[in-house]
Amino acid sequence: MQVTLHQLQLFQVVARHLSYTRAAEELFLTQPTVSMQIKQLTKSIGLPLFEQIGKRLYLTDAGRELLVTCEEISKQLARFEMTVADLQGLKKGSLRLAVVTTAKYFVPRLLGPFCQRYPNIDVSLKVTNRGRVLERLSANSEDLYILASPPENFEAEAQPFLADALVVLAPGDHPLSHQRNIPLERIAREPFLMREVGSGTRQTVQRIFDKYNLQPNVKMQIGSSEAIKQAIAGGLGISILSHHVLALEGGTDKLAILDVVGFPIRRQWHVVYAKGKALSVVARTFLEYLFSEGQQIAERTSTPMPEQLYSYLLAAEGVE
Ligand code: PGA
């Protein structure tokens, strides 16, 4: 059977309109060209596909069967086209991410296995505070963004993929390190190391103190959670940070997690993109990877949690 894909596509349009003239208009062809192609198709199949009764065109039984077959072929072809695009995308695509600073403790470890799986993908990773990440989101600068809480004033898709917990960190030899159920009022009196304006951590910390009508005793403002952690170890004060900042620390005795009422505060890391954004194949693949393997890989690739933190996270009630 000498049937071409082009003839089948023409046939579908004629069958939809039941008119050679309208099919020709839709296809930007002349009416005789369409008729000629259908004639050749009919000849190859060996049965009439249309019958003309009066002025109207009808599909014959063979025509109806052919139409069903054509629809199946079209669907299969569309699926094949997507597969080809996917294969090309994963072969030489790029992935642009912007993440809040605290995410630098786990995002690079999540990227490791992903990049090994798709070695030809170029990844760019922008690490900055929440305020700047939100600016980049509204400027459509990257494919995906990673934040703790979803954006407040921007229409975005935000999906949780990894558990987080905020803890109160103090120097290892701090007098409160052996106390249980420390009230937040007591924490508010300690010298507090605060992140800079624009930081999501700062926003959350401020909300926690506001909720209890308290003000932290801010001793120093520091523009990085890593620097705050080092400052705590150096005895400059205490702070509230994501437990992820302890990622590779293991069982250090330089830092203590204080047992404060209402802590740890559990929350989720979200992967975010602008509503309506057409995600690339690579971005979609990374999203699926985060949802299916993110939590597991983050846990597997971090140093085992210090015993104290582990039991603390398990036991504490925590408030959102
Ligand atoms: P940050 O963000 O790095 O801006 O503090 C972390 C967070 O959103 O809690």
**Does the beta carbon of 200 sit less than 6 angstroms from any atom of ligand 1?**
yes
Regarding the beta carbon of 102 and ligand 1, being less than 6 Å apart is answered yes
Q: Which of 197, 201, 320 for a ligand 1 pocket mutation test, highest count of atoms within 8 Å of Cβ?
A: 201
pLDDT tens-digit series, residues 159-187: 999 999 999 999 999 999 999 999 999 99
Q: What is the mean pLDDT of residues 196-216?
A: 95
Which residue, by CA, sits nearest to atom 8 of ligand 1? 200
* 124 CA from centroid of ligand 1 (Å): 19
Distance CA(218)–CA(233), nearest Å, equals 17
Share of the chain above pLDDT 70, in %: 91
Closest atom of ligand 1 to 195 CA is 5
Q: Is the CB of 7 under 6 A from ligand 1?
A: no
The CATH code belonging to domain 5-71 is 1.10.10.10
Angular region, 215: left φ>0, alpha ψ -120 to 50, beta rest: beta
Mean pLDDT of 120-129: 92
101 lines ligand 1 (CB under 6 A): yes
Tokens 């890989």 belong to 297
State the distance from the centre of ligand 1 to the C-alpha of 284, rounded, in angstroms: 24
Please tell me the predicted confidence (pLDDT) of residue 90: 77
Contacts with 288 (C-beta within 8 Å, 6 or more apart), sequence order: none
Residue position matching structure tokens 């000849």: 43
Secondary structure letter of residue 154 according to DSSP = S
Strands 217-222 and 191-195: parallel
Return the amino acid letter for 26.
E
Pocket test for ligand 1, best of 130, 167, 226 (most atoms within 8 A of CB): 130
Q: How far is CA 49 from CA 8, 15, 45, in A?
A: 12, 9, 9
Candidate of 101, 127, 136 to mutate for ligand 1, largest count of ligand atoms within 8 Å of Cβ: 101
Give the closest residue (by CA) to ligand 1 atom 3. 101
Task: Report the atom number in ligand 1 closest to the C-alpha of 198.
Answer: 4
Residue 299 banded pLDDT, cuts 50, 70, 90:
confident
DSSP SS3 for 56: strand
Burial class (CB in 10 A: 0-12, 13-18, 19+), 226: middle
The pLDDT value given to residue 319:
38
**CATH architecture of residue range(s) 89-162+268-301:** 3-Layer(aba) Sandwich (3.40)
Side-chain-side CA neighbours of 284 within 13 Å: the count stands at 10
Q: How far is the CA of 215 from the centre of ligand 1 (A)?
A: 20
pLDDT at 31 over 90: yes
Of ligand 1's atoms, which has the minimum distance to the CA of residue 129? 4
Burial category of 240 from C-beta neighbours within 10 Å (exposed 0-12, middle 13-18, buried 19 and up): buried
- Band of pLDDT at residue 311, cut at 50, 70 and 90: low
* Average pLDDT estimate for 117-139: 92
What is the residue whose two structure tokens read 């949690």?
305
Q: Which atom of ligand 1 is nearest to the CA of 147?
A: 8
Of the ranges 225-229, 275-279, 296-300, which one carries the lowest mean pLDDT score?
A: 296-300
**H or E stretch covering 232:** helix 225-233
Q: Which of 147, 162, 196 to mutate to test the pocket of ligand 1 (most atoms within 8 A of CB)?
A: 147
pLDDT-derived band at 76 (thresholds 50, 70, 90) equals: confident
pLDDT tens, position by position, 243-252: 889 876 655 6
130 Cβ below 6 A of ligand 1:
yes
List the CATH code of the domain at 164-267+304-316: 3.40.190.10
On the question of a common fold for 89-162+268-301 and 164-267+304-316, the answer reads yes
Nearest CA to ligand 1 atom 7: 200
Identify the band that residue 45 occupies on the pLDDT scale cut at 50, 70 and 90.
very high
Is the N-terminal amide bond of 264 cis, ω within 30° of 0?
A: yes
Q: What's the pLDDT tens digit per position in 8-21?
A: 999 999 999 999 99
CA 156 vs CA 147, 201, 274, 297: distances in Å: 12, 20, 4, 26
How far apart, in whole angstroms, are the C-alpha atoms of residue 131 and residue 145?
A: 12
* Domain boundaries of the chain, sorted by first residue: 5-71, 89-162+268-301, 164-267+304-316
pLDDT band at 238; cut points 50, 70, 90: very high
